[in-house]
Structure 1
Amino acid sequence: MAAVKSPLSDEALKVTGQALQGALVDLIDLSLVAKQAHWNLTGRNFKVVHEHLDEVVDLARAGQDDVAERAVAIGVNPDGRARTLADRTEIPQLEAGYLADDKVVAAVTDVLAQIIARFRERIAATDEPDPVTQDLLIGIAAQLEKQHWMFQAQT
């Protein structure tokens, strides 16, 4: 089995790999939480929030693919398995059943804020070890911050 030789030092690879794996878990779970809310949404603002949740899902799915591919490019195996996600996610899960639009907006606003905080930590951590990964994380964080602003404006 062939392995990708990393362009990074062992220490830089460790820091960068951890940042990418954490980002991957956050983005996979964000896509799942947003889709769960999308399917179970109710309320006066159903259509707007329903469609907005799909934007978050699209962003999260595109970001997770970029993050996973960056990991492989530097010699780190991304782990997006369900068990890994269940064991490592820090995102609070939504209640089962129908979800009122105002509660979804508040929950997604909070989830995005938490993920953004972790992305900013990863951005700081990858400044020296791998500016290329840092740039990727900055781009995703900017998109997450835009979604956070748009959800927060609905509260």
Structure 2
Amino acid sequence: MNTQQLAASVVQGVSPGHASTPVGLLQGRLHALNDLYLTLKHAHWNLVGPNFIAVHELLDAQADAVRVMTDDVAERIATLGGVAQGTAGALVAERAWDDYGIGRADTSIHLSALDASYTRVIEGTREAVTVSGVNEPATEDLLIGQLRGLEKSQWLVRAHLATGADRPAGSTAAKSGG
């Protein structure tokens, strides 16, 4: 990141040299979130089978939440004086992960793959929180809030994948057989 690009719009109290690190972290998060948004919509359009409507609607709501996150990240990049690279070409050129490879498939297949996608995004967000907390508390705060939302979404995905065997011993559902 060229610090001359940052100098014109850096927020009060953040030097261009300090802004380049959070801008770089945020750009990585923007790519990950844009990819997650597209993946959620792809799964939403292509899943079939048990609990179709519940999962279809769940993924639509999750995609909407991730879209808001992408906007917040892109605007934070701009606030810090960076240029948010939101094009598909930039995402593909800079990502370190493979494309989502599932087409039309059962809800459980998509949910399992989405669980792995959430894990990747959450791990990257946790790393970015750790680094941004050193010099840029506003970016850290944004990412922590997004981390909570991503973890909740993953929990909902995992709850759909859970079976009776996943219930804790002694739970009411396990005792009653349902």
Q: Is TM (by shorter chain) over 0.5?
A: yes
1:53 — aligned with what? 59
Mapping of residues 1-155 of structure 1, within 5 Å:
3-7=8-12, 8-95=14-101, 97-155=103-161
Amino acid of the structure 2 residue aligned with 1:100: D
Amino acid of the structure 1 residue aligned with 2:141: D
Q: What RMSD in Å do the two structures reach over aligned CA positions?
A: 1.6
Counterparts of 2:116 and 2:149 in 1: how far apart (Å)?
16
Scaled by the length of structure 1, the TM-score of the pair is 0.93
Q: Which has the higher contact order (CA 8 A, sep 6+)?
A: 1
% identity of equivalent residues: 35
CA contact (8 A) 1:26 1:90 kept: no
CA contact (8 A) 1:24 1:68 kept: yes
Counterparts of 1:15 and 1:71 in 2: how far apart (Å)?
11
- Greater alpha carbon shift after TM alignment, 5-14 vs 76-85: 5-14
Amino acid of the structure 1 residue aligned with 2:51: N
Counterparts of 2:120 and 2:130 in 1: how far apart (Å)?
16
Counterparts of 2:106 and 2:94 in 1: how far apart (Å)?
27
- Indicate the SS of the match to 1:95: coil
Counterparts of 1:66 and 1:95 in 2: how far apart (Å)?
28
CA deviation after TM superposition for structure 1 residue 9, in Å: 2.3
Unaligned runs of 5+ in 2: 1-7, 162-178
- Indicate the SS of the match to 2:81: coil
- Relative to structure 1, is the Cα distance of residues 5 and 132 closer, same or farther in structure 2, using a 3 angstrom cutoff? closer
Q: Please give the per-residue CA displacement for 1:8-35, whole angstroms capped at 9, x wherever unaligned.
A: 2233212101111011001111110000
Counterparts of 2:78 and 2:34 in 1: how far apart (Å)?
17
Scaled by the length of structure 2, the TM-score of the pair is 0.81
CA deviation after TM superposition for structure 1 residue 97, in Å: 3.1
- Give 1 or 2 for the bigger CA radius of gyration: 2
- Greater alpha carbon shift after TM alignment, 96-105 vs 5-14: 5-14
CA deviation after TM superposition for structure 1 residue 118, in Å: 0.4
Counterparts of 1:19 and 1:113 in 2: how far apart (Å)?
18
Unaligned runs of 5+ in 1: none
